[in-house]
Amino acid sequence: MRYAPIDKNLFISNRARLVQRLKPGSIAVINSNDIMPTNADASHSFVQNTDLFYLTGIDQEETILVICPDAVEKSHKEVLFIKEAGEDTAIWEGDKYTKTQATAASGIETVYWTREFEKVFKETVFESKAIYLNTNEHVRADVTVETRDTRFLRWCKTTFPLHKYRRLAPIMHELRTVKSELEISLIQRACLITKQAFLRLLDFVRPGVFEFEIEAEIFHEFLKNRSIGPAYPSVIASGLNSCVLHYTKNNRQCLDGELLLIDFGAEYAHYASDVTRTLPVNGRFTDRQRDVYNAVLRIQKAAIKLLRPENTFEDYSKEVGEIVQAELIGLGLLDSGAVKNQPKEMPLYKKYFMHGISHHLGLDVHDYGARRGLFSSGMVVTCEPGIYIREEAIGIRLENDILITEQGPVDLTKEIPIEAEEIETLMRSVKSLS
């Protein structure tokens, strides 16, 4: 792996917390992701099922975790199945985990080859009353492509039709919402790699460069720092593209006088960072650009202060909406009289700030976690206000990653420059040295 070894106690602790939430007499099964094919005989790079990684630390295809706390055979209370690497596999694909290496990474003592799964599983499942199966229950998930977990669910219900079946996803969502200290350190490492990439861009961005050239600079810095790459497709949006929320074509030339919105984040050890900065392509904001930029920055600073355990998502979103509304009136984009008579279900500020203010962050960039109810200490969320004025080709978003604690919010991305004056100064200084 590119990343440094992770303390196996993280995964041991995660499994222990899962076991506490399983009903007596149950067995739980989680499968790795598939290697996804392209055309002909090619395939995409492997991306692990984040639930499986959270519980095992194993970063390999054809892996299965079985947890059966009440198993008669003590060695079967937790079992890991991994792909056996034959001679041909070693020649064509390289090394795979040995059983000893899998135990060292996961802390799981009992390891079998995946080809032995059915035999071992049947011995244990008949001792169990209920089977927990895993599915992707993220509210925004696209489940068009069938996963190994989905295929296993179908096989399991056909093979063992009289067992009770339970959903594992709600438990995994609960567990993964609050991050441990080790998880936070991995997210912090991803944020620091993102900082290095941003500093690199301050020297590179100038009129005439193409968005894809900027993307290449980001990718270079990520890989150089032990990341496998972006945690999500980077948004490199200049001019009017900055008003397109999920713009990823990244094929336009950046012109003098325009803004450049960069929404990007490094992955490290599967943990994501998620940062947005907005730059003047020529190194200096116009007066109008600066006014809008500082309005967004004020919104973000006020919003971050609200990220405390005693607050709720609902109250937080409502209060941020009121802050955005006031700033838009100050910028001359909303009329205060019209605001007083606006429909509550569709406030006028949504024309210029149409997305959510925060989402959970962790093993997935839009990580598991409820969007309602109280914040909890240990949650990591983004804070990403924006103002998008299509008629002026001004799109400004600023996004930081925030750890919620009892002592107050902790900005994991505070070292990434964000003040307008600091960005202008850095862009001038690095160019004067080059």
326-353 pLDDT tens trace: 999 999 999 999 999 898 888 999 999 9
Mean pLDDT calculated for residue range 266-283: 98
Q: How far is CA 190 from CA 43, 221, 222, 272, in A?
A: 26, 12, 9, 6
Name the residue among 183, 194, 256 with its Cα closest to residue 222: 194
Residues 78 and 219 in one domain: no
Classify residue 3: in a domain, yes or no. Answer: no
Phi and psi at residue 202, in whole multiples of 5°?
Answer: -60, -25
Structure tokens at 23: 């009903």
Confidence of residue 393 (pLDDT cuts 50, 70, 90): very high
Kindly list the catalytic residues: 41, 246, 263, 274, 355, 359, 366, 384, 388, 397, 399
Confidence of residue 170 (pLDDT cuts 50, 70, 90): very high
Residues 149 and 235 in one domain: no
Q: How far is CA 380 from CA 171, 184, 275, 417, in A?
A: 18, 8, 13, 20
Instruction: Give the integer Cα–Cα distance in Å for 395 and 179.
Output: 32
Amino acid letter, 361: L
Classify residue 4: in a domain, yes or no. Answer: no
Give the pLDDT score at 431: 59
CA-only gyration radius of the chain, Å: 24
- Tell me the average pLDDT of the chain: 95
Find tokens 């399991």 and name the residue.
156
Residues 57 and 91 in one domain: yes
Instruction: Give the integer Cα–Cα distance in Å for 367 and 35.
Output: 22
Residue at a domain's end among 176, 204, 232 = 176
Number of domains in the chain: 2
Give residue 114's domain range.
Answer: 9-176
Instruction: Give the integer Cα–Cα distance in Å for 214 and 221.
Output: 11
Give the pLDDT score at 430: 63
Instruction: Give the integer Cα–Cα distance in Å for 94 and 114.
Output: 18
Instruction: Give the integer Cα–Cα distance in Å for 308 and 89.
Output: 51
pTM: 0.95
Residues 396 and 326 in one domain: yes
